[in-house]
């Protein structure tokens, strides 16, 4: 887990005796929410007698969790994010029908939790279900999860991780206790990036809007992001759309700020412009289109249309 989130883990540890059945861990991308949720799950499954030392990392529960084999833990996420199947499940190969992995959490994944949550614990502790990112549930899956949140089985805890909690059903949000994860201070974030051997940490941290993990992701493919900023072009692959829209939105906001006499926020553009309102309007459009770029009929047409709408001055 990342050092700036240690106080949040400590707050959960202090509330263990009266912990709610569902936590909504939310914040912007790149602040370590998933790592925090995994640490909370390990804390809940730790078998140490000393609550102040949980998660101890040495007990059987902690060792099983770290090995990915704890039978009282389930992690639910889109196929596109999955690394390994849950314990006890076999990988089923269907090459004839296999396309790109799904970017949604499907209802079958949520319904599969019912048997897991309604049987006794294998280790005599809690059963923990982690849903990440929660807003990627389709409508049917979200309603299926809501049933579990409304009538939670005894000894079951839900950990929902969300980048955009406003996209969740209000009824889901109302049945969770929110645990907001804030951006770390610039000094802490930049110091951590430098400890990860990131060159020009200040630049990438600015480009990431202060989110250190996102900045680290950007540096993994500096050439691509530099190209997107200098010469954005239409793309053919769905996976390339979000980085393009991300870059265009940062360019637009920096140019709008420049036109209003303010310093750029992201370091995405130093060009001098006059029509700040046009760039701000374009940035808002990109914010709306960003939600659609994961489901385009034609990535090239979609990205070409966005580029054509870019203000000329």
CB count, 10 Å around CB of 144? 19
Specify whether 74 is located in the same domain as 167.
Answer: yes
Which pLDDT does position 311 carry in this prediction? 92
Which pLDDT does position 182 carry in this prediction? 95
DSSP label at residue 119: S
- What does the pLDDT look like over 215-270, one tens digit per residue? 999 998 888 888 888 889 999 988 888 899 999 999 999 999 999 999 999 988 88
Which pLDDT does position 140 carry in this prediction? 94
Binned average pLDDT, 10 residues per bin, the chain of 313 residues: 93 87 95 96 92 90 93 91 54 49 88 83 86 94 92 91 94 95 96 93 94 93 87 88 92 93 89 90 89 78 92 85
Specify whether 31 is located in the same domain as 43.
Answer: yes
Sheet containing 156-162, strands listed edge to edge, beginning at the edge strand earlier in sequence = 73-76, 127-131, 156-162, 22-26, 177-180
Structural domain ending residue among the three candidates 123, 157, 180: 180
CB count, 10 Å around CB of 233? 11
The beta strand positions in the chain, using DSSP E, are: 22-26, 73-76, 127-131, 156-162, 177-180
Helices 241-259 and 222-230: crossing angle in degrees, nearest 10, is 50
Which pLDDT does position 38 carry in this prediction? 96
Show the domain range for 204. 183-220
Specify whether 266 is located in the same domain as 281.
Answer: yes
Q: Angle 4-201-289 (CA atoms, 0-180°, nearest 5)?
A: 85
Which pLDDT does position 83 carry in this prediction? 61
Give the Cα separation of 75 and 146 in Å (integer): 17
Specify whether 142 is located in the same domain as 15.
Answer: yes
Structural domain ending residue among the three candidates 201, 220, 239: 220
Give the Cα separation of 170 and 230 in Å (integer): 41
Longest Cα–Cα distance in the chain: 66
- In terms of DSSP bridges, do strands 127-131 and 156-162 run parallel, antiparallel, or are they unpaired? parallel
CB count, 10 Å around CB of 5? 20
Give the Cα separation of 247 and 245 in Å (integer): 5
Specify whether 98 is located in the same domain as 134.
Answer: yes
Q: For residue 309, give both structure tokens.
A: 């709408």
pTM, full prediction: 0.86
Q: For residue 154, give both structure tokens.
A: 């005894």
Place of tokens 């051997």: 197
Which pLDDT does position 16 carry in this prediction? 84
Give the Cα separation of 126 and 302 in Å (integer): 46
Split into its structural domains, the chain has a count of: 3
CB count, 10 Å around CB of 103? 14
Backbone angles phi, psi at 160, to 5 degrees: -105, 125
Contact (CB, 8 A) for 181 and 33: yes
Specify whether 9 is located in the same domain as 104.
Answer: yes
Q: What CATH number is given to the structural domain containing 154?
A: 3.40.50.300
- What does the pLDDT look like over 117-136, one tens digit per residue? 887 778 778 899 999 999 99
Specify whether 33 is located in the same domain as 123.
Answer: yes
Specify whether 207 is located in the same domain as 295.
Answer: no
Which pLDDT does position 223 carry in this prediction? 87
Specify whether 98 is located in the same domain as 28.
Answer: yes
Average pLDDT of every residue of the chain: 88
Which pLDDT does position 117 carry in this prediction? 83
Structural domain ending residue among the three candidates 180, 204, 229: 180
Provide CB contacts within 8 A for 177, sequence distance 6+. 20, 22, 23, 24
């Amino acid at each position: 887990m990342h050092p700036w989130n240690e106080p949040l883990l400590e707050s959960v540890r202090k509330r263990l005796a009266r912990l709610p059945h569902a936590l909504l861990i939310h914040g912007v991308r790149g602040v370590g929410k998933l790592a925090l949720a995994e640490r909370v799950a390990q804390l809940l499954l730790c078998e140490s007698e000393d609550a102040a030392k949980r998660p101890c990392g040495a007990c059987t529960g902690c060792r099983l969790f770290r090995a990915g084999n704890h039978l009282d833990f389930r992690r639910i996420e889109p196929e596109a994010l999955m690394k390994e199947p849950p314990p006890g499940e076999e990988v089923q190969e269907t090459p004839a029908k296999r396309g790109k992995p799904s970017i949604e959490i499907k209802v079958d994944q949520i319904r599969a939790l019912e048997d897991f949550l309604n049987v006794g614990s294998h280790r005599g502790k809690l059963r923990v279900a982690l849903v990440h990112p929660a807003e990627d549930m389709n409508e049917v899956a979200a309603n299926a999860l809501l049933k579990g949140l409304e009538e939670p089985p005894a000894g079951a805890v839900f950990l929902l991780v969300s980048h955009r909690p406003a996209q969740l059903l209000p009824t889901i949000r109302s049945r969770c206790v929110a645990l907001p994860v804030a951006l770390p201070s610039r000094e802490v974030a930049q110091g951590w990036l430098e400890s990860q051997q990131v060159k020009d940490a200040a630049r990438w941290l600015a480009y990431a809007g202060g989110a250190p993990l996102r900045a680290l992701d950007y540096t993994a493919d500096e050439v691509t992001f530099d190209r997107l900023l200098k010469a954005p072009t239409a793309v053919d692959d769905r996976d390339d759309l979000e980085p393009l829209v991300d870059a265009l939105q940062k360019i637009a906001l920096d140019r709008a700020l420049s036109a209003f006499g303010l310093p750029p926020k992201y370091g995405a553009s130093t060009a001098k412009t006059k029509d700040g309102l046009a760039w701000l309007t374009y940035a808002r459009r990109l914010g709306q289109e960003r939600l659609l770029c994961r489901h385009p009929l034609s990535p090239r047409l979609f990205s070409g249309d966005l580029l054509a709408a870019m203000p000329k001055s």
